């Protein structure tokens, strides 16, 4: 296959990449080419620049070249420290997102921009956290729950609350390993401290710290993000939508929503449906306002409003290249700084909204939660008014789009299963039917496929190949993040895709009326997977690590993914990576992550850049777990 073809899986994107070439616009692939061979030391994790005696790069080969940094740190120390810092950074991103959501809940009011949509979920959480509910106004309860949550970030004593939800054997493992997460900010600070010059040099100890910090993300910040978002904006239910750049509309104002935090995107959705804004759109000659999502924000708004998905992380530049985007509205995370030069080539406005992510050259319109809807309207207005400035000769909208069903929460999945299998029409659902089909072997197992795109691998190829192979082998797939968008574009989130599934999974899909690949949301929503797996484990009276369940990140790139992978393994679920993490320079770290960690947590990391080989190992592992589980039950 020619290099050009390797770039992308679908022809449409190739057309846009060609358009970029013709118009002399640089994209990530040009920059990837210019980057040439990546630094071998960095790639293996053996470059340290923690203090100014360095940077030191030590040899990853024993007995050859510099074996220690100036302070005496070995490759093992340097790799483990770098890994720990990645986990800390990833944890901070998702948890800081959750902190903002908790603040929004704290300011929610009956007649304000932010209200409480899922009162029941709030009451369940209030009870769990022993917040008094009787005879109290729902907003008083919300404010107190939010305050309790905000204290989870910095409380001086004790451990986090959400890990209580894990199965008993899992909690015992965490306790014995000494990795029960304490306050979220504290775990992040501890890693930053312990990895500074002259603190922890013991690799195993650094990895245990990483596990604890990652748990403060999975069973802390991220879980808070999911739960609170549901409470404020509603728990998702399945909705039909469309995905890929073909969702852009030539005759409408197109607004690209990119980033993470629903407290912005939800308000933009509201503003875009506001009669005043629609009238304004008509006045400028447009037929309407069309929202399209990218990355996690895309997942959030499609789950709750069916907003169409423009695509994945890597399509952020390509979307602009269509020439029909009036504004790219972003908040935090995964935003390419290159959106400035790319949007500069068109009429497109690049609007940043968060003080946490200002981008050079972008238009900054700060989003003010206190007057959220007004603030959102001002942003949408700027987009609408830009419609007239389109450069007509630069327009090209690819045709391709696929139908997708998005927005399965754990609640929705469980309810749907229970309703069909047990005819429990009104029930809130139990996981019994799911446990039953797993036990019986109708479904061999379940896989969570998550994460980003990475130009190191052929775009979306790994995501799609792995998903197809798993469902063909009766492994049900749940998916989040950009993996979910890849699935949507490939048509795997449609009920139609059941024809690609094995007999068992096909039967379940037909019976329950679900697609074989289930959209579970954004990256913080990986905690929905933790919740579901834990619920099934508890129901069967086993541990997470006993279940035939795997986590997969075929094309990951972000520090967040490192934190996620670590909390998933720490939660007892094997993690399969399609991109090699920068740890290969240390024998000890490699040995712990891909081997010894199993003795501690009952799960480990597997790495293979060939998606087919990786899936074969996954399937073997699933069968291995099934055999052990059978003996246990």
Residue 46's binding partner among ligand SF4, ligand CUV, none (Cβ under 5 to 8 angstroms by kind) is none
Task: Please choose, from the candidates 384, 383, 245, 242, the residue with its C-alpha nearest in 3D space to the C-alpha of residue 320.
Answer: 245
The rounded distance, in Å, linking the Cα atoms of 118 and 224 is 15
- Residue 611's binding partner out of ligand CUV, ligand SF4, none, with CB under 5 to 8 Å set by partner kind: none
Of 197-236, which residues contact ligand SF4 (CB under 6 A)? Answer: 197
Give kind and range of the element (H or E) at residue 471.
helix 461-472
Burial of 522 (0-12, 13-18, 19+ CB in 10 A): buried
- Partner from ligand CUV, ligand SF4, none binding residue 150, C-beta < 5-8 Å depending on class: none
Q: Which residues pair with 431 in a beta bridge?
A: none
Q: Smallest distance, Å, CB 365 to ligand SF4?
A: 41
Nearer to ligand CUV, 414 or 561 (CB): 561
Near ligand SF4 by CB under 6 A: residue from 61, 70, 199, 371: 70
What contacts 124, CB < 8 A, 6 or more positions away?
none
- Contacting ligand SF4 (CB under 6 A), which of 54, 112, 169, 341? 54
Nearer to ligand CUV, 162 or 313 (CB): 313
In the list ligand CUV, ligand SF4, none, the entry touching 211 (Cβ below 5 to 8 angstroms by class) is none
The residues, any chain, with a CB within 8 Å of residue 64's CB and separated by 6 or more, are none
With binding defined as CB under 6 A, does residue 193 bind ligand SF4?
no
d(CA 221, CA 150): 10
Give the residue with the Cβ less far from ligand CUV, 256 or 295: 295
Q: Residue 82 or residue 315: which is nearer to ligand SF4 going by CB?
A: 82
DSSP letters of 239-273? EEEEESGGG--TTSEEEEEESS-HHHHHHHHHHHT
Using omega within 30 degrees of 0 as the cis cutoff, is the peptide bond preceding 55 cis?
yes
Is residue 192 involved in binding ligand SF4 (CB under 6 A)?
no
Q: Which residues contact 619 (CB under 8 A, 6 or more apart)?
A: 444, 469, 470, 473, 475
Query: Which residue, 387 or 408, has its beta carbon nearer to ligand CUV?
Result: 408
Instruction: Name which position in 73, 86, 179, 438 contacts ligand SF4 (CB under 6 A).
Output: 73
Nearer to ligand CUV, 334 or 497 (CB): 334
Task: Report d(CA 99, CA 91) in Å as an integer.
Answer: 12
Establish if 55 lies at the interface with ligand SF4 (CB under 6 A). yes
56 forms part of the interface with ligand SF4 (CB under 6 A): yes
In angstroms, what is the minimal distance from the CB of 179 to ligand SF4? 25
CB of 501 to ligand CUV, least distance (A): 24
Binding region for ligand SF4 (CB under 6 A) out of 27-35, 42-50, 245-253, 328-336: 42-50
Q: What is the dihedral of CA 58, 40, 206, 193, to 10 degrees?
A: 80
Distance CA 506, CA 290 (A): 35
d(CA 436, CA 623): 16
Contact 520, 230 (CB under 8 A): no
371 binds, options ligand CUV, ligand SF4, none, Cβ within 5 to 8 A by partner type: none
Residue 460 beta carbon to ligand CUV: minimum distance, rounded to whole angstroms: 12
DSSP state of 325: E
| Nearer to ligand CUV (CB atom), residue 490 or residue 508 | 490
Q: From the list ligand CUV, ligand SF4, none, which binds 49 (C-beta under 5 to 8 Å, kind-based)?
A: ligand SF4
In the complex, the smallest distance separating the C-beta of residue 94 from ligand CUV, rounded to whole angstroms, is 7
Cβ burial, residue 169 (10 Å; 0-12/13-18/19+)? middle
Q: Which of 345, 357 has the CB closer to ligand CUV? A: 357
Which of 53/371 has CB closer to ligand SF4? 53
* Closest CB 564 distance from ligand SF4, rounded Å: 27
42 interacts with ligand SF4 by CB under 6 A: no
Under 8 Å between Cβ of 341 and 318: no
Strand ranges inside 361-473, DSSP E:
363-364, 402-406, 445-449
Whether the CB-CB separation of 367 and 376 falls below 8 Å is answered with yes
Cα 273 versus chain centre, distance: 27
Which segment (45-53, 317-325, 375-383, 600-608) binds ligand SF4 by CB under 6 A?
Answer: 45-53
Q: Which is nearer to ligand SF4, 38 or 72 (CB)?
A: 72
Q: How far is the CB of 560 from ligand CUV (least distance, A)?
A: 5
Q: Under 8 Å CB-to-CB from 67, ≥6 apart: which residues?
A: 58, 59, 74, 75
Please identify which residue in 5, 18, 49, 120 interacts with ligand SF4, judged by CB under 6 A: 49
CB of 556 to ligand CUV, least distance (A): 7
The helix/strand/coil state of 299 is: helix
Question: What does 482 interact with, of ligand CUV, ligand SF4, none (CB < 5 to 8 A by kind)?
Answer: ligand CUV
- Which of residues 455 and 548 has its CB atom nearest to ligand CUV in the complex? 455
Question: What does DSSP assign to residue 594?
Answer: I
48 interface partner picked from ligand CUV, ligand SF4, none, CB below 5 to 8 A per type: ligand SF4
The option from ligand SF4, ligand CUV, none interacting with 295 (CB < 5 to 8 A, set by class) reads: ligand CUV
Residues 376-395 touching ligand SF4, rule: CB under 6 A, are none
Q: Does the protein bind ligand SF4 through residue 50 (CB under 6 A)?
A: yes
Q: What are phi and psi of 357, to 5 degrees?
A: -150, 75
Shortest distance (Å) from residue 4 CB to ligand CUV:
23
Q: Which is nearer to ligand SF4, 70 or 371 (CB)?
A: 70
**How far is the C-alpha of 498 from the C-alpha of 515, rounded, in Å?**
6
| Interaction of residue 80 with ligand SF4, rule CB under 6 A | no
The one segment of 67-75, 199-207, 278-286, 302-310 that binds ligand SF4 by CB under 6 A: 67-75
50 binds, among ligand CUV, ligand SF4, none (CB under 5 to 8 A by kind): ligand SF4
Does residue 53 belong to the site contacting ligand SF4 (CB under 6 A)? yes
φ, ψ dihedrals at 103, nearest 5°: -65, -40
Euclidean distance between CA atoms 85 and 195, whole angstroms: 7
Residues 128-139 as b or e (16 or more Cβ within 10 Å = b): eeebebeeeebb
Task: Write out the residues near ligand CUV by the rule CB under 6 A.
Answer: 295-296, 313, 334, 451-452, 481-482, 522-523, 558, 560
Tell me which DSSP letter residue 68 carries: B
Closer residue to ligand CUV in complex, CB, 526/615: 526
The answer to the question of residue 189 lying near ligand SF4 (CB under 6 A) is no
Nearest in space to 558 (alpha carbons), one of 598, 526, 518, 586: 526
Q: Which residue has the tokens 């990140």?
A: 553
Closest CA to 185 of 211, 213, 164, 224: 213
Interacting residue ranges for ligand SF4, rule: CB under 6 A: 48-51, 53-56, 69-71, 73, 78, 197
């Amino acid at each position: 296959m020619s290099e050009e073809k390797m770039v992308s899986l679908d022809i449409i994107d190739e057309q846009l990449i060609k358009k970029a070439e013709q118009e002399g616009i640089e994209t990530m692939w040009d920059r990837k080419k210019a980057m040439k061979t990546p630094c071998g030391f960095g790639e293996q994790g053996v470059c340290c620049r923690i203090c100014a005696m360095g940077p030191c790069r030590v040899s990853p080969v024993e007995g050859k070249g510099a074996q220690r940094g100036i302070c005496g740190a070995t490759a093992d120390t340097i790799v483990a420290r770098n890994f720990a810092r990645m986990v800390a950074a990833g944890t901070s991103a998702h948890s800081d997102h959750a902190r903002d959501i908790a603040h929004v809940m704290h300011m929610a009011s009956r007649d304000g921009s932010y209200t409480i949509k899922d009162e029941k979920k709030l009451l369940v959480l209030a009870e769990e956290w022993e917040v008094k509910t009787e005879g109290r106004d729902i907003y008083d309860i919300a404010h107190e729950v939010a305050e309790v949550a905000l204290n989870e970030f910095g409380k001086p004593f004790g451990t986090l609350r959400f890990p209580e939800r894990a199965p008993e054997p899992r909690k015992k493992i965490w306790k014995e390993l000494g990795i029960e997460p304490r306050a979220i900010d504290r775990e992040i600070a501890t890693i930053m401290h312990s990895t500074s010059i002259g603190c922890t040099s013991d690799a195993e100890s650094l990895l245990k710290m990483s596990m604890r910090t990652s748990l403060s993300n999975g069973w802390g910040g991220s879980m808070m993000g999911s739960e609170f978002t549901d409470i404020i904006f509603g728990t998702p239910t399945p909705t039909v939508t469309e995905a890929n750049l073909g969702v852009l509309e030539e005759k409408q104002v197109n607004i690209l929503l990119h980033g993470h935090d629903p407290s912005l995107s939800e308000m933009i959705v509201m503003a875009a449906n506001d009669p005043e804004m629609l009238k304004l759109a008509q006045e400028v000659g447009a037929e309407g306002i069309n929202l399209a999502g990218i990355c996690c924000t895309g997942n959030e708004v499609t789950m709750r409003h069916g907003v169409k998905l423009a695509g994945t992380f890597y399509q952020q530049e390509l979307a602009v290249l269509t020439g029909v985007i009036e504004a790219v509205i972003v908040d935090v995370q995964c935003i390419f700084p290159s959106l400035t030069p790319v949007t500069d080539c068109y009429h497109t406005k690049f609007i940043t909204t968060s003080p946490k992510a200002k981008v050079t050259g972008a238009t900054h319109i700060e989003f003010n939660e206190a007057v959220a809807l007004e603030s959102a309207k001002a942003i949408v207005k700027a987009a609408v008014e830009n419609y007239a400035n389109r450069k007509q000769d630069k327009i090209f909208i690819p045709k391709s789009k696929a139908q997708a069903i998005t927005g399965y929460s754990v609640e929705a999945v469980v309810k749907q299963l229970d309703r069909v299998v047990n005819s429990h029409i009104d029930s809130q659902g139990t996981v019994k039917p799911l446990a039953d089909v797993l036990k019986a072997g109708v479904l061999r197992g379940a896989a969570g496929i998550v994460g980003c795109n990475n130009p190191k691998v052929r775009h979306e190829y790994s995501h799609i190949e792995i998903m197809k192979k798993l469902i063909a082998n009766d492994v049900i797939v749940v998916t989040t993040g950009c993996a979910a968008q890849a699935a949507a574009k490939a048509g795997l989130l449609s009920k139609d895709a059941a024809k690609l599934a094995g007999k068992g999974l096909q039967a379940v899909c037909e019976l329950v009326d679900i697609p074989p690949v289930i959209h579970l949301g954004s990256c913080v929503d990986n905690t929905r997977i933790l919740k579901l797996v834990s619920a099934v484990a508890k129901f069967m009276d086993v541990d997470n690590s006993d279940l035939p369940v795997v986590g997969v990140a075929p094309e990951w790139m972000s520090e967040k993914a490192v934190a996620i992978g670590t909390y998933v393994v720490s939660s007892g679920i094997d993690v399969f990576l399609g991109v090699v993490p920068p740890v290969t320079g240390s024998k000890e770290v490699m040995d712990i992550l891909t081997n010894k960690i199993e003795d501690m947590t009952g799960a480990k990391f597997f790495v293979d850049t060939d998606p087919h080989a990786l899936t074969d190992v996954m399937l073997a592992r699933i069968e291995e777990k099934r055999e052990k589980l059978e003996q246990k039950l």
